[in-house]
A and B are shown apart, each in its own frame.
Chain A
Amino acid sequence: MGRDDFVISARSVFLNKSNRQKFSLLTLVLISILILCLEYFKAGPVNQIRMITKDIIIKSSYVVSVPFKSISKTYSLLTDHFNMYDEYEKLKLSEIKNKNLILENNFFKQENQRLKKLIDEKNLYYEEFYVTKVLLDQRSPYLRSLLINKGFKHGIKLGAAVRSNSYFIGKVVDSNYLTSRILLISDLNSKIPIIIEPGSVSAILSGTGNNEFGEIEYLPEKNNVEEGGIVYTSGSDGVISSGIPIGKIVLDNNQPKVDYFTDFTQINFVKVYYKK
């Protein structure tokens, strides 16, 4: 292709508009770059407009994804139906164990409260929670996040802990007016201070982008971490309360990894903690 031909082609591609095109490609590329530059403004009117836009788009996306979600829900329902008998047998066996554990747990809770009163410890953590619906479950190669139906209007703040049942699953990283985004612990960017029991070993749980296992970083060289150990939040960041179970230790080539208790693909409702 000659130089002139290339220039003519480039001009035709970037500047020409056909009947139905309101904007040229060049104009739209420049607008996109401008919007991208506005990402550096994290406060003020730009941020407010961004939050409102996000709320509208997230709610519309939820409506559009309803038919697709109902298909996958029907599939899960059918699978559950077929596995019902096996599940029932398992549950029957675990029920006796659970009754004992509940009694033991109640005893430890009361003891813990008594001891806290004795040393006059104040609770810094968020104790109130909303049970909220998951609007969208966003899974991509770079992102493991959930979009929920509560925003800063409801008192949700950045960093708030999120649980599914009793297990820790992530924290709030983006709070719009009516919706929020939760970064799951399996996301690449997730770093959570943890404690591994037995042994009370402190470390950092780092997401790998994989929904099944998380990596443990900053483990002391001499540690007694064994397969089957339970991983809890340590609460050392001062926002997420301590002792929320996350997963259990599995050894992969003698390297400890965390096998999450929660199946991140099956979350429909979550508990988001907030301070009144």
Chain B
Amino acid sequence: MSIINKTYSSFLTIFPIIILFISVLSNSIYNFTYDENYLSFNISYIIIFFWTLKRPKYFGYGFIFLAGILNDVIQNNPLGISSIEYLSICVLTGFVRTRIILQNLIYDWIFFLISILIVGSINYIILVYVFNIPIVYKSLILGLFATFLIYPIIAKILSWIDNIVQVSINDKKSK
């Protein structure tokens, strides 16, 4: 196998992590105002939920923790809060993996809603009650709802990426 093919395969294996880090480091682009309400899609929630549910072996928890720290610095949150949020998603998807044999988009979508509501509550409790940082509750709920709505679209794109990664890994094994 040539060096280019090897590099390409390695790149595809770490591709989910790269997507997560890009989404965290360029977070401000997913925000827009609609009718005086500020909507903020949290793409990181979707990426972590999707990959830890489908292919946890390509998604190291250490990287998720690190992504949380990066997000906190950029968002000016107390350091560690996003890591707790992201790892909470991993805990929840871990439970689902141990209980559910067959997965489909609708179940995943509903479970995603439950997960982000739990994570949103953790975020709200820590920011408001522990650190006394005021947040707009309406914006938080609207942001979570917007993230929930776009889940199927992003999940389809991520499934497509996942298929490419799987094909590449299978090719590598067969060679």
Contacts and interface: CB of A to CB of B under 8 A. Distances in A.
A137 B28 contact: yes
Nearest to B21: A64
A74 interface: no
B158 interface: no
Contact of A28 (B56, B87, B99): B87
B74 interface: yes
A21 interface: yes
A19 B134 CA distance: 41
A68 B81 contact: no
B26 A210 contact: no
Nearest to B131: A39
Contacts of B83: 28, 31-32, 35
A29 interface: yes
Contacts of B21: 64
A13 B74 contact: no
B80 A32 contact: yes
Contacts of A65: 25-26, 28-29
Interface stretch (B62-70, B109-117, B162-170): B62-70
A33 B80 contact: yes
B9 interface: no
Interface residues of B, number: 51
A130 B78 CA distance: 28
Contacts of A209: 38, 136, 139
A226 interface: no
A64 B38 CA distance: 24
B161 interface: no
Chain B interface SS verdict (over half)? helix
Nearest to B39: A141
A14 B90 CA distance: 10
B79 A13 contact: no
Interface in A117-171: 136-143, 145
A93 interface: no
A58 B73 contact: yes
B91 interface: yes
Nearest to B138: A141
A36 B25 contact: no
A145 B98 contact: no
Contacts of B142: 141
Contact of B26 (A13, A25, A61): A61
Interface of B: 21-22, 25-29, 31, 33, 36, 38, 40, 56-58, 60-62, 64-65, 68-70, 73-76, 78-81, 83-84, 87, 90-91, 94-95, 98-99, 126-127, 131, 133-136, 139-140, 142-143
12 contacts: A12-B94, A28-B65, A34-B80, A36-B78, A36-B126, A39-B78, A68-B26, A136-B28, A138-B74, A142-B136, A209-B139, A212-B36
The 3 closest A-B pairs by CB, nearest first: A141-B139, A13-B94, A36-B80
